[in-house]
Amino acid sequence: MPGFLRPPVTLAMVLLLWHGAYILMGRQSYLLPSPWQTLETLAARWSTLAPHAGVTIVEILLGLVLGCLLGGGTALLLALFRPVRRWLMPVLVVSQAIPVFAIAPLLVLWLGYGLGSKVAMAMLIIYFPVTAAFFDGLRRTEPGWLDLARVMGGGRLAVLLRIRLPAALPAFASGLRVATAVAPIGAVVGEWVGSSAGLGYLMLQANARMQVPLMFAALLVLAAFSVALYALVDHGLRRLLPWVPDDHREA
C-alpha cells in the first residue's frame, strides 16, 4: 500500500473499532458516543473547539521544550557530578511519586491560573522520563572513548559535552519520543487542575454538562495533534541522528 494511503486507512480502522466498541456497549452515547456523532459535533462546534485547541497546543509545545531542556540539563548535571547524582537521584524519584493533584494547589499558588501552571504540569510530567532516559544513555558510554578522551587530556565537562552527550543522543531521542507522547496528557491534567481555557477545560465542562460527544470531539482534536506531533518529532530525530542504526529507515 502506498505510504500516503496509510494515515487515512489507519484512521478509518480506528473509527471502525470505536464504532464496534460503541455497539458493544449498547449504544449508550453518554458513556461512549459513536464516531459519527463525534465527528458531527466536531464539525458543528469547530468554532468553539478551535480557540481551546490553540491554547492547549501552545501549552504542550512550551511544556515539551522546557521539559526537555530541564530534563536534559538535569541528566548532564547528574552525569557530571557524582555527588549531585547520589543526592539528587532519590529526590527525583520521590518527586515522581507525588501525584500531580496533590501539589496542584501549590503549583497554582505559585504560578497562577494562566499558562504558567499548565506548562509547568506538562513539563513535570515529561521531566522524569527525559531525565532518566538521557542519564541512562550518559551512563553507558563506550569505555574506550572515555579512555581515549582521558589520555587526550579532556576535562570532565569537555568529555561530557563532546563524547558522552553525543553518544547518549539515541537514548535521549528515545526519552524525547516518550515525552512527546506524554506531554499532551500533562497539559490536559494541568488544565483540569485550574484553567479557563484549553481542550482539557472544555472536556471537563462538556463532561459536567453531559455533552459527551463534545468531550470526545475535543479528545479527537487532542489525539490528532498528538499523533502529528509525534510523527514530526520521530521524523526529525531520525534525520538529526543519521549515524544511529535504525531498521525503520531502511524500510
Partner 1 sequence: MTPDDLGSRTGPLSRPDLPPAGTAPAVTVHAARLEWQGGALFDALDFTMPAGQWTCLLGPSGVGKSTLLRLVAGLAPAHADSRVTCSDGQPLTGRVAYMAQTDLLLPWHTVYANVTLGARLRGEAADRGRALALLDAVGLGDAAGKRPAELSGGMRQRAALVRTLMEDRPVILMDEPFSALDAVARLRLQALAAELLRGRTVLLVTHDPLEALRLGDRVHVLSGRPARLDAPLEPPGAAPRRIDDRRILDLQAELLARLAAAAAETA
Partner 2 sequence: AEKMTVLLDWFVNPDHAPLVVAKEKGFFADAGLEVELIAPADPNDPPKLVAAGKADVAVGYQPQLHLQAAEGLPLKRIGTLVATPLNSVVTLSDSGIDSLGDLKGKKVGFSVGGFEDALLGTMLADAGLTLKDVELVNVNFALSPALMSGQVDAVIGAFRNFELNQLAIEGRTGVAFYPEEHGVPPYDELILLANAGKLDDARLRPFVEAVERGTHYLVNHPDESWQLFVKAYPDLDDELNKRAWADTLPRFDLTPAALDRGRYERFAAYLKAQGMIDAAPELSTYAVELPIR
Listed residue (168, 159, 162) closest to 72, CA to CA: 168
User: Of 62, 163, 171, 214, which lies in the binding site for its own copies, with binding defined by CB under 8 A?
Assistant: 171
User: CA-CA distance, 194 to 205, in Å (whole number)?
Assistant: 12
Question: What cell was used for 136?
Answer: 541512562
Report the nearest approach of partner 2 to the CB of residue 110 (Å).
10
Residue 204 found at the interface with partner 2 (CB under 8 A): yes
Q: Point out which span in 44-52, 115-123, 141-149, 150-158 binds its own copies (CB under 8 A).
A: 141-149
Listed residue (183, 179, 82, 187) closest to 134, CA to CA: 179
User: CA-CA distance, 199 to 222, in Å (whole number)?
Assistant: 7
210 binds, among its own copies, partner 2, partner 1, none (CB under 5 to 8 A by kind): partner 2
The answer for residues whose C-beta is within 8 angstroms of residue 232's C-beta and 6 or more apart is none
Query: By rule CB under 8 A, what count of residues binds partner 1?
Result: 23
Q: Which CB sits closer to partner 2, 83 or 196?
A: 196
Residue 159 found at the interface with partner 1 (CB under 8 A): yes
Radius of gyration of the chain (CA): 22
In the complex, which residues of this chain contact partner 2 (CB under 8 A)?
A: 25-26, 28-31, 48, 101, 104-105, 108-109, 112-113, 191-196, 201, 204-212, 214
